[in-house]
Amino acid sequence: MMHEEEAIEAESADSFDGDSAYAGSSGGSLTETLASEIARGVEENGRTYAAYGKEEYGLPIDEEELDRIDMSHAKYVMLMEKKLFLAPITEQPQKILDLGTGTGIWAIDIANLYPSADVLGLDIAGTQPEWVPPNCRFQVIDIEDPVWTLQKDSYDFIHARDLLLAIRDWPRLVKQSFDHIKPGGYFELQCIFPRLCCDDETLDLKNQLLEFTKKALNASAKMGISLDACTQYAKYMRDVGFEDIVERRYKMPSSPWPKDKRMKLIGAFEMHNLLGGLSAMSLWMFSRALGMTQIDIENFLVDVKRDTKNLKCGLYSLFPTLYRGKTTDRH
C-alpha cells in the first residue's frame, strides 16, 4: 500500500508532467497555461526573472544567467578538486535531492555518478534540459513553501549550492531538510561568501568591487535575503539537530592573479562569473533596496567591472561548505 506522503509526492510529480488533472478543460489545460507563464518569466531592466514562487528570486533565469550558472558549476568542481560534494554518503545512495537546482547540471552529474539513486532537482523555474539520465528528474517547486510535498525521512543526501537571494527563512529550510533526510543521511550546503579578502598589500581601499560587495550585503539585508547567511549555516544546522557539523572553506580568487596554474584558471572562471553576474544581481537588488535607477547602477558597474579585471590585486572570497550526517535515534 502506498503511504500518504508517497501518494502526495507522486501526485505532485504528475501535476508537472502532464495535464491529466485538467483534462477536458476548454481553451487548453490550466497546467499548460501555468507552465507557459513560468517558462516565460517576468521582464525587468532587460532581464528575465522567475514568475513562480511565493517571493521574488533576485537573479534572472534567462540564457545569459543559465550560461553563467553552468560555467560556475565547472569552477566549483575545479575548486573542490573534481568533487561534486564532500559529505561521506553511502556508496549506493537511493534518493538524492538538489534544492534550487537551476540548470540542473549538478543533479545530472550526480545522477550519472550514482546510477543507483533517484535524483530529484527542485527549482522555481523549469530551466532544466529535457534530455537527462533516466534516474534524474526535475520539479517546479518553491522550496520556501512551508510544507514540502515530499516523503519525509527518505533522502540519503540533500544538497544545495549558492541559494543567493533566494531564501528568506533559512532556519525553516534547514529544518525541512532535516525532516526529509533519513537517519544517517547527509545535508550539504555550499555557498560563496561575497565579502572579499586580501592577504597582502595589493588592495586599494578605493577598489569599486569592494564597494559593490558592501552595497550588495547592505541591500540584501534590507530585503531579508542576506548574502551573509552562510556565516550562520552551522548554527542553523546545529539548532535543528544535526551533529558533528563540518565546515570547509576554500579561497576563491576573484581574478586570475594567483601564480598557481589551477588557482589562476579558477580565478579566470570567477572573474567571468563576476562580470556576467554583477549586472544581474545589482539591477534587481539595488533598485529595490537602495533606490538606485538603472542608469545609476550601470554607471556604477563600469568602475566595478574595471576593478574586477585588475590582476594586480589579490582579492578572494570564501566558499564555505558545511555538511553532517544524522544520528539514528533522532525520533
> What is the three-state SS of the chain?
CCCHHHHHHHHHHHHHHCCHHHCCCCCCCHHHHHHHHHHHCEEECCEEECCCCCCCCCCECCHHHHHHHHHHHHHHHHHCCCCCCCCCCCCCCCEEEEECCCCCHHHHHHHHHCCCCEEEEEECCCCCCCCCCCCEEEEECCCCCCCCCCCCCCEEEEEEECCCCCCCCHHHHHHHHHHHEEEEEEEEEECCEEEEEECCCCCCCCCHHHHHHHHHHHHHHHCCCCCCHHHHHHHHHHHHCCCCCEEEEEEEECCCCCCCHHHHHHHHHHHHHHHHHHHHHHHHHHHHHHCCCHHHHHHHHHHHHHHHCCCCCCEEEEEEEEEEECCCCCC
Average pLDDT of the segment spanning 153-173 = 93
SS3 248: strand
Placement of cell 581601499 in the chain: 205
pLDDT on residue 46: 53
Pair 238, 230: CB distance under 8 Å: no
Given a cut of 50, whether residue 20 has pLDDT beyond it is no
Radius of gyration (C-alpha) of the chain in whole angstroms: 20
Closest CA to 259 of 176, 200, 318, 308: 200
pLDDT on residue 16: 32
Given a cut of 60, whether residue 52 has pLDDT beyond it is no
Given a cut of 90, whether residue 71 has pLDDT beyond it is no
**Higher pLDDT, residue 327 or 201:** 201
Placement of cell 558597474 in the chain: 301
Residues 6+ apart with CB under 8 A from 211: 304
The partner residues of 123 in beta bridges, in order of sequence, read: 140
Residue 5: pLDDT band (50, 70, 90) is: very low
pLDDT on residue 306: 96
Given a cut of 60, whether residue 56 has pLDDT beyond it is no
pLDDT on residue 91: 93
Residue 41: pLDDT band (50, 70, 90) is: low
Average pLDDT of the segment spanning 112-123 = 96
pLDDT on residue 6: 38
Residue 301: pLDDT band (50, 70, 90) is: very high
pLDDT on residue 128: 82
Residues 6+ apart with CB under 8 A from 25: none
Q: For each of the domains in the chain, give its residue range(s) and CATH number, in order of start.
A: 1-40 (no CATH), 41-325 (3.40.50.150)
pLDDT on residue 85: 96
Taking only the tens place, the pLDDT of each residue in 304-328 is: 999 999 999 999 999 999 998 765 5
Q: Are strands 155-161 and 136-140 parallel, antiparallel or unpaired?
A: unpaired
Q: Which of 3-17, 21-35, 178-192 has the highest mean pLDDT?
A: 178-192
Taking only the tens place, the pLDDT of each residue in 243-293 is: 889 999 999 999 999 999 999 999 999 999 899 888 878 888 898 899 999
**Higher pLDDT, residue 82 or 194:** 82
SS3 221: helix
Residue 44: pLDDT band (50, 70, 90) is: low
Residues 6+ apart with CB under 8 A from 313: 198, 202, 203, 204, 207, 255, 257, 307
Across all residues in the chain, what is the average pLDDT? Answer: 82
Average pLDDT of the segment spanning 205-214 = 93
Closest CA to 209 of 115, 274, 276, 286: 274
Of 12-26, 146-160, 166-180, 199-213, the least confident: 12-26
pLDDT on residue 278: 87
Backbone angles phi, psi at 279, to 5 degrees: -65, -45
Cell of 212: 559593490
Given a cut of 80, whether residue 202 has pLDDT beyond it is yes
